[in-house]
């Protein structure tokens, strides 16, 4: 069965009345439509907007916008990107479906709709997750069910917000990837050291793996050197069974888990926590009891 384009959770937010009356489409002039103030997306790629505008110019808007009344006008709930592209295509009217929703519903629908888009960057996703947690008191498990992601994926993405603003900006601009950001999180207890390593990662255009090695070495020194990643030999890849076990532990504990095997068969399990509250949660999961 094909997956609904609305995604998990979103179809439940749009009333069955609006869905059942999907043929009751009204035509609205672009100037009577207002952008959603709760829209989590902060930027729109000009190239892709132009491509969408060209498609709309040739085929029209295939999926109506979902809007709500705003005085004599309408506020967009879902479809702001289509509205922007339609203006570039010089459409005189835009097809819309009207639904009465409150501010919280409009926010939740906009956040969840955007989280199912492929081109949302990691920081936008993390901020949208955090807004859902803050405004709707979602647990990570509940949020995962709404978005259709694993709980560990939600938690790991949210942890990116612990990075300094300079690093988050670098991630948004595409100078580093989400993998680089996760590697840098190991240094969040020392912001100066983290920024030093980040500058090296960015200027040297290091791979994620090389960045992880640089972070490991930086943890044992006061300051990282630009050549550190060149002096650290590559770590052999984990046995596939250990890789699967590591992923299972991360999924179960909802945090980063690393396995450090040795040739002798011994090794270490490294479980990361960001604060005392997360440590308490992990401990209670592994060995329930009052320890902290």
Under 8 Å CB-to-CB from 239, ≥6 apart: which residues?
261
Helix (H) or strand (E) run with residue 259 in it: strand 257-261
Cβ burial, residue 148 (10 Å; 0-12/13-18/19+): middle
Starting from the edge strand earliest in sequence, which strands make up the sheet with 94-98, in order?
26-28, 94-98, 65-70, 73-78, 33-34
How many residues in total does the chain contain? 292
The candidate with the shortest Cα–Cα distance to 128, out of 150, 106, 111, is 111
Query: Across all residues in the chain, what is the average pLDDT?
Result: 78
H/E stretch holding 86 reads helix 80-88
Q: How does residue 159 score in pLDDT terms, banded at 50, 70 and 90? A: very high
Cβ neighbours around 181 below 10 Å, total: 27
Domains and CATH numbers, the chain: 10-120 (3.90.1530.30), 178-235 (no CATH), 240-286 (no CATH)
- By the 10 Å C-beta count (0-12 exposed, 13-18 middle, 19+ buried), 120 is classed as middle
Catalytic residue numbers read 80
Full-model pTM: 0.54
Residue 13: the pLDDT is: 46
Tell me the three state secondary structure of residue 77: strand
Read off the pLDDT of residues 199-243 as tens digits, 9 standing for 90 and up: 999 999 999 899 999 999 888 764 445 454 444 444 455 677 777
Q: What confidence tens digit (pLDDT) does each residue in 54-83 have?
A: 999 988 998 899 999 999 999 998 888 899
């Amino acid at each position: 069965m094909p997956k609904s384009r609305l995604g998990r959770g979103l179809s439940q937010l749009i009333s069955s009345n609006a869905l059942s009356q999907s043929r009751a489409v009204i035509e609205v002039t672009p100037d009577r439509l207002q952008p959603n103030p709760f829209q989590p997306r902060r930027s729109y790629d000009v190239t892709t907007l132009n491509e969408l505008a060209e498609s709309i110019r040739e085929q029209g808007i295939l999926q109506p916008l979902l809007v709500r009344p705003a005085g004599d006008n309408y506020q967009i709930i879902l479809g702001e990107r289509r509205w922007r592209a339609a203006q570039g295509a010089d459409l005189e009217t835009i097809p819309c479906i009207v639904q009465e929703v409150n501010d919280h519903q409009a926010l939740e629908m906009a956040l969840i709709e955007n989280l199912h888009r492929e081109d949302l960057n990691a920081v936008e996703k993390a901020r949208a997750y955090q807004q859902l947690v803050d405004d709707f008191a979602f647990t990570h498990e509940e949020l995962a069910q709404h978005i259709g992601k694993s709980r560990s994926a939600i938690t790991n993405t949210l942890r990116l917000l612990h990075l300094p603003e300079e690093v988050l900006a670098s991630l948004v601009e595409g100078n580093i990837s989400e993998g680089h950001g996760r590697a840098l999180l190991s240094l969040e207890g020392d912001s100066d050291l983290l920024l030093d390593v980040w500058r090296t990662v960015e200027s040297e255009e290091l791979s994620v793996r090389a960045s992880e090695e640089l972070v490991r070495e930086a943890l044992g020194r006061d300051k990282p050197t630009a050549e550190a990643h060149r002096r650290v030999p590559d770590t052999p890849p984990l046995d596939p069974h250990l890789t699967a076990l590591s992923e299972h532990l991360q999924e179960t504990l909802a945090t980063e888990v690393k396995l450090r095997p040795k040739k002798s068969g011994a090794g270490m399990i490294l479980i990361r926590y960001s604060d005392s509250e997360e440590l308490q949660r992990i401990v209670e999961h592994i060995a329930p009891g009052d320890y902290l």
